[in-house]
């Protein structure tokens, strides 16, 4: 007795998996960026709330550096 089988749609499945991987990667990067900006905001608010701002240089130096090259820079 000889049995044979074929699987159809494997290439489409692999393409769908690749699309899902890229979408997950973008979502993770966005979440990390939002978290970095939230940490920056919280740190600056804490400095202000605790009365640690004298010249503003420390607060201005706190900035998130995002992977896509965007950042909120400061200057003296």
| Distances from the Cα of 40 to the Cα of 14, 15, 31, 57, angstroms | 39, 38, 14, 14
Which tokens is 69 given? 């090259």
pLDDT in tens, 1-48: 899 888 889 999 999 999 999 999 999 988 988 999 899 999 999 998
Above 50 in pLDDT, residue 76?
no
DSSP tag of 61: H
Q: pLDDT at position 5, please?
A: 86
pLDDT in tens, 41-71: 999 999 989 888 888 888 888 888 877 666 6
């Amino acid at each position: 007795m000889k049995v044979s089988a074929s699987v159809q749609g494997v290439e489409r499945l692999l393409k769908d998996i690749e699309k899902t991987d890229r979408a997950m990667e973008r979502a993770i990067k966005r979440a990390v960026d939002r978290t970095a900006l939230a940490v920056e905001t919280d740190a600056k608010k804490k400095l202000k709330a605790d009365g640690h701002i004298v010249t503003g240089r420390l607060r201005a130096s706190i900035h998130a550096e995002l992977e896509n090259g965007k950042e909120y820079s400061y200057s003296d």
